[in-house]
Structure 1
Amino acid sequence: MSPPPPAPPPPTHADADADAVVIGAGPNGLVAANLLADAGWRVLVLEAADEPGGAVRSDRGVHPEYVTDLFSSFYPLAAASPVMRGLGLERWGLDWRHAPAVLAHPLPDGRCAVLHHDPERTAAGLEAFAPGDGDAYLRMLARWDRVGEDLFDALLGPFPPVRALPGLLARTRAAGGLRLLRTLTLPARRLGEEEFTGPAGPALLTGCGLHADLFPESPGSGAFGWLMVMLGQRHGWPVPAGGAGALTSALVRRLADRGGEVRCATPVSGVVVARGRALGVRTAGGEAVRARRAVLADVPAPALYGGLVDWRHLPARLRSDLRRFQWDYPTLKVDWALARPIPWAAEEAAAAGTVHLADSVDHLTRYTADLATGAIPQDPCGVLGQMTTADPGRSPADTEAAWAYTHLPRDGSREPGERLADRLEEAVERRAPGFRATIRDRRVLAPEDLQALNPSLVRGALNGGTAAVHQQLIFRPTPGLGRPETPVAGLYLASASAHPGGGVHGACGANAARAALRAPRLPRLTHRDGRRRE
């Protein structure tokens, strides 16, 4: 299919009007901008930072010979998302790379649960832990193949998925009906107990909760684990060749080819609202930028409501609801430049792009109980990325660019970041004796550092708000319709604070863009004497 014709030339700084102004050049903002530009709209993206990307950026800040992703790294949601796939970013330079194995979970006895690209090999590995677990895994995969991709696509769209619902219900009935729905509500611990008899299958499922803020006992955490494992089995957990920033660069280049513009180092200080509708924005430098059709905000909900939009333009109920808004847990991240690959005691972990650091489901439960009660975990669980394993160009030959992160309690840590980083290194060292001897350089990013690098990561929260069920679907970011529309006409929430939430899938931005495209064009406001107000 040939691409749509480009939009009119982008606005200049002297004529800063646009059909749509997008606040924030994170992945959701850039996806929204691309879809609007595809429809022929003139789009201007205003980004506060000196470079675009939000939480999809990379640098050489640990060591000049090593490429390090500042925030996110592996992108199973992007690889599977129909929104991202539909943009055809490979034409603009995006090149996905895959590690030899998708995911590994080394266990204390030296064995390792591994998600391989080949499902039969994954099943054989689980079978070695416990007879029957291989077949149980293949049954879970077959269930996914019947309904999972359709369910995933429906969840990425506005909720409820009215158009997709009839077909989805039919496929759900074919895949087990109420029994499948019951499975989707299960905590990850219970799902693992029901499906497997050995430790490997439950470890893969519950370890995926580390990528959000879901406990092994959280309702719905089993569905999240199933989703992440199945996406890994069918799509992998790929990385962009050259660093996370390559994904952002492809989005920016595509937008430019459609006539859109990204202006960095241009923070927005407020949305201009009159008579209940958004007219544009005002920058921190005092510039007024008119939006003829829509303003889309790729910022956290608490930064938009009562921040960029004054409370006088918003319903009192929203202010009350937003007081209950819950962030996900703060994050501590450590980046390493390693002189050689990590010497895992469980050798199979060496081939995986992503490694989960947790001894067992019980270990995960103790760790998350510490978080819930405000205690700093003394034996942290974590997620580790082996970036050169996935993309050999990230560091010199026979070395490794790696990172790991763990979560901290919401009430803040009273321990220095370096001490917490040492504890995370100890967790790796126990699983890979000699790991510390491989470290050439490291960088520690405490929650406040992550927020300084990206103000949307408030206290180091990576997902724009908790992924727990009380703040998902029709409850995200507050009880409503699970849609990007706001109480201000022409203003749309396009960030991870909107449904469907965190992760680099572009759906939050796409939902906002499509809502703007569907909306009737509002008449221009007029002065009381009938003259049009410019």
Structure 2
Amino acid sequence: MTTVDAVVIGAGHNGLVAANLLADAGWTVAVLEATGQPGGAVRSAEVTAPGYLSDLYSSFYPLGIASPVLRGLDLDRYGLGWRHAPAVLAHVLPDDRAAVLHRDPADTAGSLDRFATGDGERWLSLYDEWRSISEPLLDALFTPFPPMRAGAALLARLRTAGSLRLARRGVLPVDRLGAELFRGAGGPLLLTGCALHTDLAPGEAGSGMYGWLLAMLGQQVGWPVAAGGAGRITDALLTRLAGRGGRVHLGQRVDRVLIARGRAMGVRAAGGTWRARRAVLADVPAPALLLDLVGPRWLPPRLVADLEHFRWDGSTVKVDWALSGPMPWTNREVGGAGTVHLGGADAAGLRRYAAALADGELPPEPFLLVGQPATADSGRVPPGGEALWAYTHLPFRRDWPAAAVAEVVRRMEAVLERHAPGFGALVRGRHVAGPGDLERAEPSLVGGAVGGGSSAAYQQLVLRPVPGLGRADTPIDRLFLASSSAHPGGGVHGGPGSNAARAALARDRPVAGGLYARAVGAAQRAVYRPS
């Protein structure tokens, strides 16, 4: 048996963030990773052709560069750098016109004015509004719920009237929000494309908030890539942790959280038993932690029943290509964008795409999120080459057959060929990751769901992962959920890992920790009490 202060299950970025914060507090920390590679969905490798570096899962990081959690770790001191493309995002319409989000707000405004005179000024006004509240809003998003200090600062800036309007924006569908803010098609489509990074349809409540947030972050901080590949984020977290004495143990699949008298005492893993003097933190999906590693016998029956209604976000197919030259976009303006949205990407086409997903069908024309990383980080490819990637969502299933995945890839490549004639002739290598491939390589990506659970309004804040406290605490004392299944959800920003570490530290305080445990326990008993 090995004894440490804290065991962290999973070496995804949230697990590594949590481990770093506990090590900062002087705790001894062991991170147990089931696979042979740390990083979870933040990794890169050459998978298409020699000399072409691909980000295997996540790739661009507006939430990462804006996150107060990651900024607080000073990862630039450990080798992390950011790179920006000339343009942040291009949303390509079926006729090859494009609404382009540039890093200079005036250039973005000019792009939107081509769709409707005055929309550029409307964009600038929207951005000014964002800048006035972005700091307390981001602090509120990435701290434990409820965000008392950041929430008070946000309320002070917005006052009552502004807070009510922000609350309304928080539940608006993105198609309604776009129609209220702009007159032409460009602005609404930028917002809608951003919202479709989640599993929410354009007409779904709450999608407007995601579209607005990602678009405004793109204008404020860009959508950068990590210099040298996504794996450099993981490398920086590992280097920082090692410098504080923390260790990551690979190939250590945990199969049980060990519990005595309602308290997490450690874990059983492939290499033996690990005792945790102070806490166990889990960077794994909520159903895996609570139903598999803990087990229903230790949980309130009402919580177990609620987990039956936990909703995953959509399955994903991701394809990487090694190209011998730049993409031959019909609209040359698209070539400078780090990220591109296309594929039936007008308002009607996006509604059809979302409707097909809702009906459990493969969309005839998939909406694609496309990355051109060499526009920002040219060292990822040989001179003159390009490392292109694209992904699209499918209805959530864990058993997508190979023939269906192949058909999706065919449709994806048809979309690319239509908007960039000659694309296929440039392909030197290709790597396809269907939903099953994604889950086999990274078990937390269940069925290829990349968000740790749906972003729907009914599974956010105090409803994430199930109706509860909206915090990292679980009904097991000193066991904390540190994955994207917890508030504030998916994305590479470290929020769930940070919240779990903060909860563990609060629970461990000599006197206040006991009061904390009693308060959390009383609240959970009230939430999970049978009707």
TM-score band by shorter chain is over 0.9
TM-score between the two structures when normalised by the length of structure 1: 0.93
Measured in 1, the distance between the counterparts of 2:160 and 2:112 equals: 27
Counterpart of 1:383 (choices 324, 348, 369) is 369
Distance 1:44 1:175 in 2: 48
Measured against aligned partners, the alpha-carbon deviations of 1:74-117 in whole angstroms (never above 9, x if no partner) come to 01101000000110001111111111111111122332111101
User: Structure 2 unaligned runs (5+)?
Assistant: 512-531
Cα-to-partner distance string for 1:477-527 (whole Å, 9 max, x where unaligned): 00011100000001000000000000000000000000000114589xxxx
Deviation, structure 1 residue 138: 0.6
Q: Shift in Å at residue 284 of structure 1?
A: 2.3
Partner of 2:37: 51
Q: Is the Cα contact below 8 Å between 1:485 and 1:515 reproduced in 2?
A: yes
Equivalent pair of 1:210/1:382 in contact (CA under 8 Å): no
- Residue of structure 2 equivalent to 1:357: 342
Partner of 2:215: 229
- 1:168 is aligned to 2:154: yes
**8 A contact 1:354–1:384 mirrored in 2:** yes
CA displacement at 1:174 relative to structure 2: 7.8
Q: Runs in 1 of length 4+ with deviation above 6 angstroms?
A: none
Letter of the structure 1 residue corresponding to residue 328 of structure 2: P
Structure 2 partner of 1:12: none
Q: Hey, what does 1:293 align to over in structure 2?
A: 278
Out of 457-466 and 118-127, give the one that drifted further: 118-127
- Whether the aligned pair in 1 keeps the contact of 2:5 and 2:277 (CA below 8 Å) is yes
> Does 1:430 pair with 2:415?
no
Q: Is the 8 A contact 1:103 1:354 kept in 2?
A: yes
2:112 matched to 1:126? yes
Normalized per residue, the structure richer in helix is: 2
What one-letter code is carried by the residue in structure 1 that aligns with 2:311? Q
1:433-464 alpha-carbon deviations (Å, 9 max, x no partner): 11111111111111000000101000000000
- Confirm whether residue 318 of structure 1 aligns to residue 306 of structure 2: no
SS in 1 for 2:162: coil
Q: For the residues of structure 2 that align with 1:163 and 1:122, how far apart are their CA atoms?
A: 34
Taking the TM superposition and a 5 Å limit, the aligned residue runs for 1:107-118 are 107-118=93-104
CA 1:521–1:313: 2 relative to 1, 3 Å:
farther
Contact persistence 2:90–2:337 (CA under 8 A): yes
Aligned partner of residue 306 in structure 1, secondary structure: helix
Write the distance in 1 (CA, Å) between the matches of 2:36 and 2:281.
20
Is the Cα contact below 8 Å between 1:463 and 1:501 reproduced in 2? yes
Instruction: Say whether the 8 Å CA contact 2:400–2:436 is kept in structure 1.
Output: no
Instruction: State the Cα deviation string for residues 274-310 of structure 1 (Å, max 9, x = none).
Output: 000000111124x111100000000000100120112
Q: Distance in 2 between matches of 1:182 and 1:470?
A: 16
Partner of 1:8: none
Q: Which amino acid aligns with 2:392?
A: T
| C-alpha separation in 2, matches of 1:276 and 1:236 | 46
Paired letter, 1:432? A
SS at match of 1:163: helix
2:293 pairs with 1:305 = no
Task: Summarize the alignment of residues 2-41 of structure 1 with structure 2, pairs less than 5 Å apart.
Answer: 16-41=2-27
Q: Which amino acid is the alignment partner of residue 301 of structure 2? A: A
Determine the structure 2 residue equivalent to 1:345: 330
Q: Deviation string for 1:315-351 (max 9, x for gaps)?
A: 1111100000000000011110011111111111100
Contact 1:293 1:521 (C-alpha < 8 Å) held by counterparts: no
The 2-side partners of 1:29 and 1:162 are apart by 25
Q: What value does the CA root-mean-square deviation take over the aligned residues?
A: 1.4
The equivalent residue for 1:10 is: none
Conserved in 2, the CA contact under 8 Å of 1:387 and 1:402? Answer: yes
Distance in 2 separating the partners of 1:322 and 1:174: 36
Is the aligned partner of 1:330 residue 2:315? yes
Find the counterpart in structure 2 of residue 484 from structure 1.
Answer: 472
**Counterpart mapping for 1:491-510 below 5 A:** 491-510=479-498
Work out the CA distance in 2 between the residues paired with 1:509 and 1:99: 29
